[in-house]
């Protein structure tokens, strides 16, 4: 399968790999991580964060992490980067990428983006994670296409993968920056 590898890697590239290639090897083909990795966003902006780069790039291999190869796009997140800030930017971008013809895109995605911005700010309210989970439940399955569902997948992945970072932000700390 064709993969686009970008983010915190030495040589962002489009490469072809056999299905089932471990994520670590795919990253190595793009020159390797530029430094210690925190996670990899697998499946593009509608994908999910994966912290175990030993997992194979296949539907069955990624399923335990709640991810899938999707569009074959990998985004490497360095340890120095804040996953909440990066995810907030992505959700903000996704909220802008619709014709705003359906309720989930007109109202739901901007609300998700606003709550993600709040979550990305150290010192955020402890209620913001719960608000994001509630919004995700309201938006999922309600669009005429799956753009809102893909955005919800990413938001839910943030909440399940980066619980420590969420707790740190609520406590007013941030372990990384963009």
Residue with smaller CB distance to ligand SF4, 54 or 141: 141
Residue 131 CB, shortest distance to ligand SF4, in Å, is 21
Residue with smaller CB distance to ligand SF4, 33 or 143: 143
Residue 38 CB, shortest distance to ligand SF4, in Å, is 30
Residue with smaller CB distance to ligand SF4, 145 or 167: 145
Residue 27 CB, shortest distance to ligand SF4, in Å, is 31
Residue with smaller CB distance to ligand SF4, 37 or 139: 139
In the chain, how long is the greatest CA-to-CA distance? 44
Summarize as ranges the residues that interact with ligand SF4 (CB under 6 A).
Answer: 98-102, 104-105, 143-145, 147-148
Rg (CA), the chain: 16
Residue 145 CB, shortest distance to ligand SF4, in Å, is 3
Residue 156 CB, shortest distance to ligand SF4, in Å, is 17
Give the C-alpha separation, 92 to 112, whole Å. Answer: 8
3-state secondary structure the chain: CEEEEEECECCCEEEECCCCCEHHHHHHHCCCECCCEEEEEECHHHCEEECCCCCECCHHHHHHHCCCCCCCEEEEEECCCCHHHHHHHHHHHHHHCCCCCCHHHHHHHHHHHHHHHHHCCCCCCCCHHHHHHHHHHHHCCCCCCCHHHHHHHHHHHHHHHCHHHHHHHHCCCCCCCC
Residue with smaller CB distance to ligand SF4, 147 or 169: 147
Residue with smaller CB distance to ligand SF4, 102 or 170: 102
Residue facing ligand SF4 at closest CB distance:
143
Residue 105 CB, shortest distance to ligand SF4, in Å, is 3
Task: Count CB atoms within 10 A of the CB of residue 159.
Answer: 16
């Amino acid at each position: 399968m064709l993969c686009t590898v970008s983010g915190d890697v030495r040589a962002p590239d489009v490469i072809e790999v056999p299905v089932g290639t471990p994520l670590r090897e795919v990253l190595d083909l793009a020159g390797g991580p530029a430094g210690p990795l925190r996670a990899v966003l697998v499946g593009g902006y509608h994908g999910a964060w994966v912290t175990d780069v030993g997992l194979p790039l296949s539907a069955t291999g990624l399923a335990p992490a709640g991810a899938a190869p999707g569009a074959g796009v990998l985004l490497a997140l360095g340890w120095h980067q804040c996953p909440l800030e990066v995810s907030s930017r992505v959700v903000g971008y996704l909220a802008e990428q619709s014709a705003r013809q359906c309720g989930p895109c007109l109202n739901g995605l901007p609300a998700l983006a606003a709550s993600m911005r709040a979550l990305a700010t150290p010192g955020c309210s402890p209620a913001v994670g719960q608000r994001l989970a509630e919004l995700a439940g309201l938006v999922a399955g309600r669009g005429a296409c799956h753009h809102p569902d893909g955005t919800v997948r990413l938001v839910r992945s943030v909440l399940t993968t980066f619980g420590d970072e969420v707790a740190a932000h609520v406590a007013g700390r941030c372990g990384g920056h963009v």
